[in-house]
Structure 1
Amino acid sequence: MKTIFKVLAALLIICNCAYGQVKWEVDPAHTNVRFEVNHLGIAFVDGQFKKLEGSVETKSDKDFNGAKINFIIDVNSIDTRVEMRDNHLKSDDFFSAQKYPTMKLENAVLNGKDGNYTLTGDLTIRDITKKVTFTVKQNNGIITDPWGKTRAGFTATGRINRFDFGIQYADKLPTGVMAVAPEVELTINVELVKN
């Protein structure tokens, strides 16, 4: 009987090692969330969120298929290079940053191979959560930096409709063209460091 327990305990240890999670942290100094939206039907305005944090868990330190991802973005870090516009975007017309200071991407999972992935997760903006999908490209594999740390870089792209998240600002030109288009293009450049 003792032998059976020993064998079971050894199997549990082996299974735990085989399915252990590798933890990665987002390097905020080398990560950004960029956006671009059509303005007046004739041009594009772009900007970024400068403060964010995030974590990634993988099954191994060599493959990101099945990775679990969570991000928190500081809405007040929005930067379009025009202070008046940034303040308007933080107002109730758009993000209502005082009431909803963060955006979150949670329960996100990366699926794919050979550096090409699809990311699906729950995006929350203004306390409204919707399922979103991004196309993700791994940039040049996994490297060891000059300081001995293991790093990986990714670029994710996707599109959301701001109306889906309660961002209802809807001024229009006399022609009916919206001052700010509903569709927002997102590009997320991420650099991860293995813990």
Structure 2
Amino acid sequence: MKTIVNILAAFILLTNVAVAQVKWSVDPAHTNARFEVKHLGIAFVDGQFKKLDGNLESSTATDFNNAKINFNIDINSIDTRVEMRDNHLKSDDFFSAAKFPTMKLENAVLKGKKGKYKLTGDLTIRDVTKKVTFKVTQNNGIITDPWGKTRAGFTATTSINRFDYGINYADKLPSGVFAVAPEIQITVNVEVVKN
């Protein structure tokens, strides 16, 4: 009987180890979410969101395939270096930040190997949620920082059509070119720290 109990205990221990998740937190001091959009058809305007948070769960401390990711961005932290433009972007013409203060990426899963991944998840802007896929590169593996913490870094890129998310500002030049193009290029540089 003792042998059966020992075997059962070992099986339970191995099962718990197999499903254990390694938790990582986004380091907001070393993470940025940037965007770029064509203006008047001739130039690009870029900006960033200065406040964000998120977490990542991986199956091991060295393998990010199938890692789960959630990410939140504070819309009111938008910064394009021009206060009047930032206020316009927070208005109902664009993000409607008073009603929808947070942009979210939820239920996102990282798939790939050798530092090259695709991240697919539910992106919510305003009150619209759509599936989005990012191309992701892991930057230089996993390191131990000078303070003994384990860190990893990633760069994720995608493009979205803002009209798909209810950002319907549509002023045009007499030529028919949008003042602010529909397509938005997004780059997120993320540094995560193992908890």
- Which letter does structure 2 place at the counterpart of 1:59? S
- Which letter does structure 1 place at the counterpart of 2:68? K
In the alignment, what sits opposite 1:146?
Answer: 146
TM superposition shift of 1:98:
0.3
- Once the two structures are superposed, the pairs formed by residues 96-107 of structure 1 within 5 Å of their partners are 96-107=96-107
In the alignment, what sits opposite 1:7?
Answer: 7
Q: How big is each residue's C-alpha offset from its partner over 1:152-181, in whole Å with a ceiling of 9 and x where there is no partner? A: 000000000100000000000001000000
TM superposition shift of 1:9:
3.0
CA distance in 2: counterparts of 1:102 and 1:19, whole angstroms: 31
CA distance in 1: counterparts of 2:142 and 2:88, whole angstroms: 40
Give the CA RMSD over aligned residues.
Answer: 1.0
Q: Which moved more, 1:71-80 or 1:13-22?
A: 13-22
- Once the two structures are superposed, the pairs formed by residues 38-49 of structure 1 within 5 Å of their partners are 38-49=38-49
Q: How big is each residue's C-alpha offset from its partner over 1:36-87, in whole Å with a ceiling of 9 and x where there is no partner? A: 0000000000000010000000000001111000001000000000000000
- Once the two structures are superposed, the pairs formed by residues 90-129 of structure 1 within 5 Å of their partners are 90-129=90-129
CA distance in 2: counterparts of 1:108 and 1:173, whole angstroms: 38
TM superposition shift of 1:13:
1.3
- Which letter does structure 1 place at the counterpart of 2:120? T
In the alignment, what sits opposite 1:174?
Answer: 174
CA distance in 1: counterparts of 2:174 and 2:107, whole angstroms: 42
TM superposition score normalised by structure 1: 0.98
- What secondary structure sits across from 2:11 in the alignment? helix
In the alignment, what sits opposite 1:75?
Answer: 75
- Which letter does structure 2 place at the counterpart of 1:126? R
TM superposition shift of 1:15:
1.2
CA distance in 1: counterparts of 2:148 and 2:90, whole angstroms: 40
TM superposition shift of 1:19:
2.2
CA distance in 2: counterparts of 1:128 and 1:91, whole angstroms: 16
CA distance in 2: counterparts of 1:106 and 1:76, whole angstroms: 20
TM superposition shift of 1:5:
4.4
For structure 2, list consecutive stretches of 5 or more residues without a partner in the other structure.
Answer: none
Identical-pair percentage: 77
- What secondary structure sits across from 1:178 in the alignment? coil
CA distance in 1: counterparts of 2:79 and 2:13, whole angstroms: 49
CA distance in 2: counterparts of 1:123 and 1:8, whole angstroms: 43
User: What count of residue pairs does the alignment treat as equivalent?
Assistant: 195
TM superposition shift of 1:8:
2.3
- Which letter does structure 2 place at the counterpart of 1:34? R
For structure 1, list consecutive stretches of 5 or more residues without a partner in the other structure.
Answer: none
- What secondary structure sits across from 1:84 in the alignment? helix
In the alignment, what sits opposite 2:35?
Answer: 35
- Which letter does structure 1 place at the counterpart of 2:70? N
In the alignment, what sits opposite 1:130?
Answer: 130
TM superposition score normalised by structure 2: 0.98
